[in-house]
Chains A and B, each alone.
Chain A
Amino acid sequence: NAGVTQTPKFRILKIGQSMTLQCAQDMNHNYMYWYRQDPGMGLKLIYYSVGAGITDKGEVPNGYNVSRSTTEDFPLRLELAAPSQTSVYFCASTAIPVEEETQYFGPGTRLLVL
């Protein structure tokens, strides 16, 4: 199993541009999450999904959108990039509710908005 994969690894965006961060898992996990991590800080939850077709907002959803058309994929969309979205983005998945199971994290996508 590849686990949780993320693409791209690094990206530079200009203000106002849009992009999609890709996340995929091959563990047949129902639950998937997107976090952002600013320098020296902990992770903040952006969006999560409890299954295909079901998504919900986390702590910091503004400026982002997600979709979950399949169990495997959970892309994160930035429509109008802003410097405040410069961060490292992590995708994670679990088989059952996160309270009772570990989260498996991807390697992260480093995004720089200039």
Chain B
Amino acid sequence: LAKTTQPISMDSYEGQEVNITCSHNNIATNDYITWYQQFPSQGPRFIIQGYKTKVTNEVASLFIPADRKSSTLSLPRVSLSDTAVYYCLVGDSGAGSYQLTFGKGTKLSVIP
């Protein structure tokens, strides 16, 4: 399973852009990179997914360099409601495997 490494925690003021970087040095050729958001006492919620270059949706942007060994989730102008844990996942596309590995995630605290 491709392992990911991301910061344990980050703090940001409201209105700022937040960038959370995840490293995945042993990502496989067919692996996708997916980010989830989890609020306390809730299940994770999908934010964004990408394979290479840049992906943008109404919530966030995902930047993936050419070597795909890392990725950066960008949250524009965060608000207090963005306080949550953010998980970076890399899909394991090994034969017959359908598992994703959730690390500890990055706990983002947005400060007024």
Contacts and interface: CB of A to CB of B under 8 A. Distances in A.
A31 B98 contact: yes
B92 A99 contact: yes
Max chain A C-beta neighbours (<10 A), residue from B34, B87, B103: B34
A113 B100 CA distance: 27
A99 B102 contact: no
A108 B43 contact: yes
Contacts of A42: 87, 101-105
A105 to B, nearest CB: 3
Contacts of A35: 102
Interface in B83-97: 87, 91-93
Nearest to B107: A40
Contacts of B98: 31, 48, 50, 97-99
Contacts of B103: 42
B42 A102 contact: no
Contacts of A108: 41-43
A44 B103 CA distance: 9
B31 interface: yes
Max chain B C-beta neighbours (<10 A), residue from A31, A98, A105, A107: A98
Nearest to A88: B41
Interface of A: 4, 31, 35, 40-45, 48, 50, 58-59, 90, 92, 97-100, 102-108
5 contacts: A48-B98, A90-B43, A98-B91, A102-B34, A107-B42
Interface of B: 30-32, 34, 36, 41-46, 49, 87, 91-93, 98-105
Given A50-B98, A107-B42, 20 more contacts: A31-B98, A40-B104, A41-B104, A42-B101, A45-B101, A48-B99, A90-B43, A97-B93, A97-B98, A98-B100, A99-B91, A99-B98, A102-B34, A102-B46, A102-B49, A103-B44, A103-B46, A104-B46, A107-B43, A108-B41
